[in-house]
């Protein structure tokens, strides 16, 4: 991994921990490709561990809102009071019914995919070895892809 790529992951973690410095913190990593989200979340978890954050990674695969609450969110809050959990998955993580579960959300785009404007941050992973933070002008962005 290049120094620039490590810096991107570290910067994303610093932004998250600046806004949510302690407690049971939940960060969702989503895209139209759940595998893409899982790989990115894995690298992000490594960055969190480098910064001394107790981190757990979970995939949302096959879980609806109720299952995410009972199988992931509630046990995490009960058992890991000062840690972060990374939930990776597809577009379902950012539906209006579910996105309120997360403190912070990352939306990954590649190629000509449209950014999802409800995300806390957008990262372009067209070249997965060199992800880039994308700062979209939300006034000019077409309506989000419906998750």
29-54: pLDDT as tens digits: 999 999 999 999 999 999 999 999 99
Please tell me the predicted confidence (pLDDT) of residue 106: 97
pTM check: above 0.85: yes
Residue 52 backbone phi and psi in degrees, to 5 = 80, 20
55-105: pLDDT as tens digits: 999 999 989 999 999 999 999 999 877 999 999 999 999 999 999 999 999
Give the distance from CA 44 to its chain's centroid.
9
Please tell me the predicted confidence (pLDDT) of residue 67: 95
The residue ranges of every structural domain in the chain are: 3-134
β-strand 55-59 against 104-109: which pairing, if any?
unpaired
**Cα(9)–Cα(104) distance, integer angstroms:** 14
**Cα(121)–Cα(141) distance, integer angstroms:** 14
Q: Model confidence at 141, in pLDDT bands (50, 70, 90)?
A: low
Please tell me the predicted confidence (pLDDT) of residue 3: 96
Please tell me the predicted confidence (pLDDT) of residue 139: 55
Q: Which CATH class is domain 3-134?
A: alpha beta
Residue 62: left (phi > 0), alpha (psi -120 to 50), or beta? left
Residue of 48, 29, 23 lying closest to 104 (CA atoms): 29
- Which residues make beta-bridge pairs with 87? 28, 58
Q: Is 31 exposed, middle or buried (0-12, 13-18, 19+ CB in 10 A)?
A: buried
- Which tokens sit at 27? 């960060």
């Amino acid at each position: 991994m290049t120094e620039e790529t490590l810096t991107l992951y570290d910067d994303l973690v610093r932004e998250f921990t600046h806004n949510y410095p302690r407690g049971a913190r939940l960060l969702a990593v989503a895209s139209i490709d759940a595998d893409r989200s899982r790989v990115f979340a894995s690298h992000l978890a490594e960055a969190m561990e480098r910064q001394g954050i107790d981190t757990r990674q979970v995939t949302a695969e096959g879980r609806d809102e109720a299952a995410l609450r009972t199988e992931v969110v509630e046990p995490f809050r009960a058992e890991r009071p000062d840690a972060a959990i990374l939930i990776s998955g597809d577009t379902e993580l950012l539906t209006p019914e579910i996105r309120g579960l997360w403190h912070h959300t990352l939306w990954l785009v590649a190629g000509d995919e449209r950014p999802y404007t409800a995300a806390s941050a957008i990262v372009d992973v067209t070249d997965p070895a060199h992800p880039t933070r994308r700062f979209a002008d939300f006034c000019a962005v077409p309506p989000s892809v419906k998750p």
